[in-house]
Amino acid sequence: MSRGQWLRIHKYIGLTMAALLLVQALTGILLLYRGPVARTIDPAGMVSHASGPVVSAGTVVTEAEKALPGFAVARLFAPDVEGATYMAEMSDAQGAIRYASIDPAGGKLLRAGSVWAFPVEAALQIHYRLMAGKAGMAVVLLNALGLFAMAVTGLVFWWPRRGPVAKHLAIRWSVAFRLVLRQLHRTVGVVASLLLAFLAVTGMLLIVPELLDGDGPAPRHRAVNAAMIDQGLALAQSTFPDSRLRDFRLTDERLTVNFHAPERNALAVHRVVVTIAAPHIVSATPAEQNRALWMTVLPLHAGNSLGPVGPMLWMVAALALLALSISGPLMWWQARALRRRVPIRKLPA
């Protein structure tokens, strides 16, 4: 395949996917520091005000359901750091989704509403499924495939046949702006290509299992009181007594409880499934025995596997993708405008 063909493939995929890649870059930047960003932009709704005694998770569930009649808590996230709040994901019989944040100190409802009332949660839903369920996830998968293809085709097109690599990455600032833009696009793309390809592959590995799985648990209809939830959580905690609660899913019959397992990696969890009525443990899976693909891939995709430097490096990659998503279409528009301005010469008779 010629260099021109590689370039055409790169260009057409880029123009098709530019808007989606721009969205992925922007939402990805927010999600790299999801908790701190949420608390910074919405302190009234996402920061504990320490106005009372610490309440139990069961009490949080009942307070959230009082605030939104007709909706039942399907999943509850525990505070991840001191000063954070509980975050409840709720659904009704028709499958509509609402969210609520509850102060762990006193159990006061801080905010409730659709996903748009929680900007960082909205960013997560856009980044992962474009707010469109599995259809949106399929589009995100195609977007990741496109990003991988662009990283490969761009690198192949650029690959120097002779001379030092640095020379082929140099930017001549004295030339016209459109040429500077082209050189910047090339250099940023080449330098970031391997990391962007890595993010594309790990993103695909996260999405494909979800697409192949069946639908999630049905909305809960049976009333469950705080004492029943707390009893089930206490039983689950007895299996991993030294681990902090991360979140749990709640159905009519069971609690599926996740505890932080930093001994495996920053995002790994121990999982315990407990029945609610006549509570007993159905299963208990330590993180080191959990074969779920996301538990290995998500820390890689989010940068947590590299410690504090990881999210910073991924931030640079996201900013590079943001720049490429803008500069690529701009270069195409400049080229079209230039062709329109150049007069067509008539051939001699």
Contact of 7 with 106, CB cutoff 8 Å: no
Q: Residue 40's pLDDT is what?
A: 96
**Both structure tokens of 106:** 């006193």
Contact of 110 with 238, CB cutoff 8 Å: no
Residue 318 lies in a domain: no
Number of folded domains that form the chain: 1
Quickly count: other Cβ atoms within 10 Å of residue 19's Cβ.
12
At residue 256, the 3 state secondary structure works out as strand
Give the C-alpha separation, 294 to 211, whole Å.
Answer: 13
**Is the pLDDT score of 345 beyond 70?**
no
Q: Which residues pair with 99 in a beta bridge?
A: 89, 113
Across the range 266-288, mean pLDDT stands at: 95
Q: Residue 284's pLDDT is what?
A: 97
Apex CA 219: angle with CA 217 and CA 225, to 5°?
Answer: 110
Q: Residue 219's pLDDT is what?
A: 66
Residue 21 lies in a domain: no
Residue 337 lies in a domain: no
Confidence band, pLDDT 50/70/90 cuts, at residue 56:
very high
Residue 102 lies in a domain: yes
Average pLDDT over the chain reads: 92
Apex CA 198: angle with CA 122 and CA 22, to 5°?
Answer: 40
Apex CA 188: angle with CA 187 and CA 189, to 5°?
Answer: 90
Give the C-alpha separation, 114 to 91, whole Å.
Answer: 11
Q: How far is CA 115 from CA 17, 90, 311, in A?
A: 25, 11, 25
Contact of 48 with 85, CB cutoff 8 Å: yes
User: 58-74: per-residue pLDDT in tens?
Assistant: 999 999 999 999 999 99
Torsion of CA 72, 106, 101, 304, to 10 degrees: -110
**Is the pLDDT score of 92 beyond 70?**
yes
Weakest-pLDDT range from 35-49, 156-170, 174-188: 156-170
Query: What is the enclosing helix (H) or strand (E) of 168?
Result: helix 165-169
Confidence band, pLDDT 50/70/90 cuts, at residue 342:
low
User: 299-329: per-residue pLDDT in tens?
Assistant: 999 999 999 999 999 999 999 999 999 999 9
Residue 87 lies in a domain: yes
Q: Residue 97's pLDDT is what?
A: 94
Across the range 97-124, mean pLDDT stands at: 96
Give the C-alpha separation, 105 to 5, whole Å.
Answer: 62
Which residue bears the tokens 């820390």?
A: 299
Residue 36 lies in a domain: no
> Which DSSP category does 267 fall into?
T
Q: Residue 349's pLDDT is what?
A: 47
Residue 160 lies in a domain: no
**Is the pLDDT score of 347 beyond 70?**
no
Q: How far is CA 1 from CA 12, 148, 149, 159, in A?
A: 16, 18, 15, 14
Give the C-alpha separation, 154 to 327, whole Å.
Answer: 14
In sequence order, what DSSP letters do the residues of 88-116 get, joined into one string?
EEEE-TT--EEEEEE-TBT--EEEEESGG
Q: Residue 217's pLDDT is what?
A: 62
**Both structure tokens of 326:** 């803008």
User: 191-246: per-residue pLDDT in tens?
Assistant: 999 999 999 999 999 999 999 886 666 666 677 889 999 999 999 999 999 999 99
- With pLDDT > 70 as the criterion, what percentage of the chain qualifies? 95
Q: Domain span at residue 89? A: 45-117
- Of residues 100 and 348, more confidently modeled: 100
Confidence band, pLDDT 50/70/90 cuts, at residue 140:
very high
